[in-house]
Amino acid sequence: MNVSFLLCTLRAFAPRQIPLCLWTPFSQIYCLPPFFPPGSSSHSLRTFYTLVLGSNQDVLQYIVVAYVDDQLVSRFDLTTRRMLPQVPWLLNVKKEDLHIWDFISQRVSNTERNYLTFSAGTHSWQRMIGCQLSKDGHKQGLDQKTLTWTAVDIRAQVIKRRWEAQPFIAQNRNIFLEKECIELLQKCMVYGKDYLLRKEPPLVKVSRRIQYNGMETLVCRVYGFYPKEMDATWRKDGEVWEQDTFRGGVLPNSDRTYHAWLSIEVDPKERDLYRCYVVHAGVPEPLSVAWKEPGEKKGCV
C-alpha cells in the first residue's frame, strides 16, 4: 500500500510547537492526513522544510532535507538553489529522472518565496511531506475527498477558508504525493537496495549492578543492528516481565546502525530466571541472553 502524508507547522517564536498543526500568531491549522512512522514492512520518502524569517522579512535560514527511511539522501543548496544528492546511489535516480529532479528543485526553491509574505515579526515555518510504500507494492492512493484542512480552533477558520478557496493547492499536492513521490521512492529502493534493504544482526550483552539495598540491576544492551525496528523485553521463566523495567530509546550509531538498552531490578536469588529477549529481522530466531559470570558460555539461544 502506498500512503501519502503531509505535516505542516508554522509559528512565531515563543509559542510551543503542536504536532500535526500549522501554527501562526493568530491561527492553528491541522493538516491531514497525519504522519505514519516507517515500519519493517514499509519504506518512506520524506522531505522536511524549515524556514526562519527575520523581522524585515529577510531569510535567516532555509533548510530542506530529504530522507528515505532513516537515511539522509538529499539537501537543498542555497547557492545553487538545487536539491543535491547526499548518497552515491541517488545519482542514478537523478540521472534517470532529471526532469522530475529539476521540477522538485524548482518546487523547493519556490516554496521559500511563497512564504515571504508574513506579517511583521520573526517567524518560523516547518513542513514535512512524503509518501510510504508497503512491502507488497499494493496501491492504495490518497483519497482526494479527505485531503482537506481542518481548523483546530475558531481563529484558524480564516486560513482554512483562504486555502480552500484555492483548490489547486490541494490538487497539486495530491499529484505529487500520488505519483511523483511514489515513483521516486520506488526508484530509490531499486538503486539503494544494498543499503536500504540490508540487515545487520544485533549484538546483545547483559551486565549486572549491585544496589545498596541488596537488590541487583540487570542491564541489557542491544547494539549494532539495522534496520531500526527491534523488539526487546525481559522474560522471567519464559514469561514477558515488564515490572521494574526501564527502557532507553533506540538511538543511532556513527556507523549507521542502532543501539538500545533496557534494565530491570531483580532479587539476586532469582537472577538466573531472567533473560533479555530480542527480536530483529537480522537474526532468524529471537535471541535470549542471560547475565553470566566472566568466562561462562551460557546465555544466548
How far is it, in rounded angstroms, from Cα 298 to Cα 301? Answer: 9
Whether the predicted pLDDT of 139 surpasses 50: no
Element (H, E) at 108: helix 98-114
Mean pLDDT of 42-62: 80
The x, y and z cell numbers of residue 137, run together, are: 507494492
Lowest mean pLDDT of 86-95, 149-158, 278-287, name the range. 149-158
Q: Which of 168, 126, 128 is nearest to 6 (CA)?
A: 128
The highest-confidence range among 29-33, 38-42, 260-264, by mean pLDDT, is: 260-264
Query: Is the pLDDT confidence value at 39 over 60?
Result: no
Distance of alpha carbon 10 from alpha carbon 30, whole angstroms: 11
Cα of first residue to Cα of last residue in the chain, in angstroms, is 35
Pick the more confident residue, 125 or 226. Answer: 226
| Average pLDDT, integer, range 115-128 | 68
Q: Which residues neighbour 113 within 8 Å (Cβ) at sequence distance 6 or greater?
A: none
Average pLDDT, the chain: 75
Q: Helix, strand, or coil here: 248?
A: coil
Does residue 5 carry a pLDDT above 50?
Answer: no
Cα(3)–Cα(145) distance, integer angstroms: 15
Residues 25 and 152 sit within 8 Å (Cβ to Cβ): no
Binned at pLDDT 50, 70 and 90, residue 233 comes out as: very high
C-alpha 150/C-alpha 159 separation (Å) is 10
At 105 the three-state DSSP class reads: helix
Q: Determine what percent of the chain is predicted with pLDDT higher than 70.
A: 67
3-state helix, strand, coil in the chain (%, to 5): 25, 40, 35
pLDDT of residue 102: 79
The Cα 278–Cα 258 span in angstroms is 14
Three-state secondary structure of 17-84:
CCCCEEEECCEEEEECCCCCCCCCCEEEEEEEEEEEECCCCCEEEEEEEEEECCEEEEEEECCCCEEE
- Residue pLDDT, tens place only, 158-216: 667 776 777 666 666 676 777 778 888 888 888 898 888 899 999 999 999 998 888 99
